[in-house]
Chain A
């Protein structure tokens, strides 16, 4: 069964600190992996997207890594800001149909002053 597991479920950090969010997946076939940021009550906004051959991708203070062998990904946030408070969702595309996206439940990040 295709699954995406994220950890931790929630995380509280102080402003300015770094943090790393984890995503493990069992999805086959694998097409790509995406990280999204979802503010409360809003739609998800794409942060990064990585294909099988990509190990790392950065978007400002966000850096995503992908290990296709172990089927793990991480999202590292550097020098966190209050505006980083949101849910971060890992989404794996199983290829084929364009709608074949497997969503993780997300990690709820709270950045405190």
Chain B
């Protein structure tokens, strides 16, 4: 199993500002995944964070909007840049160990 500590758990931000979300895993993992969950919707993969290389972004997501850092095998950050109300969502980090996928507690972001 894996335990992921994600913070902040929630934030209310002004439009045009940026928020950085952090995830710390209790063990080393090759890949970490960042998801967005808009109200009433399923999880959508934003990007895969690889240690030592650029993150891989899914269609519709770009690095300028969602820059990701992965300085080591247990930590990653996702920044939501130049926020607008449409960015209000729950953001989740995840890792896969064995057959299981494990998630952080989520960050509930509200942009006003």
Contacts and interface: CB of A to CB of B under 8 A. Distances in A.
B103 A104 contact: no
Chain B residues touching A, range: 20 to 34
A104 B42 contact: yes
A70 interface: no
Given A41-B106, A42-B106, A99 B10 contact: no
B106 A34 contact: no
Interface of B: 4, 6, 9-10, 30-31, 33, 40-45, 48, 90, 92, 96, 99-106, 108
Contact of B96 (A36, A43, A99): A99
Interface of A: 4, 32, 34, 36, 41-46, 49, 51, 89, 91, 93, 97-99, 101, 103-106
Contacts of A105: 40-42
Given A98-B96, A105-B41, A44 B108 contact: no
Given A41-B10, A43-B106, A101 B42 contact: no
Given A89-B42, A98-B31, A105-B41, A43 B101 contact: no
A44 B103 CA distance: 6
A46 B96 contact: no
Given A43-B103, A49-B100, A99-B31, 9 more contacts: A41-B90, A42-B105, A43-B6, A43-B105, A44-B92, A44-B103, A93-B101, A98-B30, A103-B43
